[in-house]
Structure 1
Amino acid sequence: MKDDDVIKWRFLAKNTVIAEINVKADRFTVYDDVLDGRFRDRLKLDKQTGSLTITNTTIKHAGEYELQIKYIMVYFSLTVIVSVMEGDSVTLNPDLTEINYNDLIQWRFRNENTLIAVINKRADSIAVYDDVLDGRFRDRLKLDKQTGSLTITNTRMKHAGRYQLR
């Protein structure tokens, strides 16, 4: 780092600064209590290199990050892999505090780019498409209309893959 460097780390999903360094002011700060404390006691900022480490990551930490040094911006993507035993249930949380009137929430099984669940708040409708993909999700999907969470029950290997929330 140079004597006049100002470095900012931002979590882009919520456009929130989570760490910053001002070398000239000798200030090294992590903002681990932002965003409902999801980063609390998890951020480590290296004063020599400006590197940021997130420890004990969870699905809430997945997303895009931005590193800004003066006028240069570098983007990083963090993917969190959830490990589940066959037969267990897994809940995918969108991390919403509430669903707004105009929200349209779509869950996709990315391996096949297939829509598997939708909440349309404006139309006051909720739909689970568990018969798609040869019925592999039949009677296994539960969609929470309050939080937008998707639960897959009695998981099997055929449910492994990437899921996307829009």
Structure 2
Amino acid sequence: MVMSEALHCAVLTASDSRDLSTDTSGQYLHDALESMGHRVMFRELLPDDPYHIRAQVCRWAADADPQVILITGGTGFSGRDGTVEAIRPILDTEIEGFGELFRQLSYQDIGSSTVQSRAMAGLSNNTFIACLPGSGGACRLAFERILREQLDSTHKPCNFVNLLLRGDARRS
């Protein structure tokens, strides 16, 4: 299904135990974005280290492309889960409802274990950034129940696409 506005996207996996050939969550997000007609410009896998994650996301957000960055992995509570710490300081605006809605939907699947997810999203330099858990089920849930509609410029009454395009002087 092709949406009316194609976005430039990046997918980043934060993992100490996967490589691109075993990164099913990152591959799912890549394929789901492309199936909507969006262009995945970058796909990276980095160690679950907040400094590496932040540096890469800052490079992408400082550029005119991509408009959307989806990060999978590093949103739990273990000692190596550093995605939230890497991303929160660089956000201009956190979209609190994203994490709240994700956990509400996730509760239907995994019950109270959802409280261990720190999924979140926000805007940095008018780039939408979402931090998702590393599990394939969580990525599918977030994409199919939240991101698919919000990355569709025809979704009413509002969506992230129109928000990004309206406020993006970098791409003029």
Bin for the TM-score computed over the shorter chain: under 0.3
TM-score, normalisation: structure 1: 0.28
TM-score, normalisation: structure 2: 0.27
- Considering only CA atoms, is the larger Rg found in Structure 1 or Structure 2? 1
The structure with higher relative contact order (CA 8 Å, sep 6+) is 2
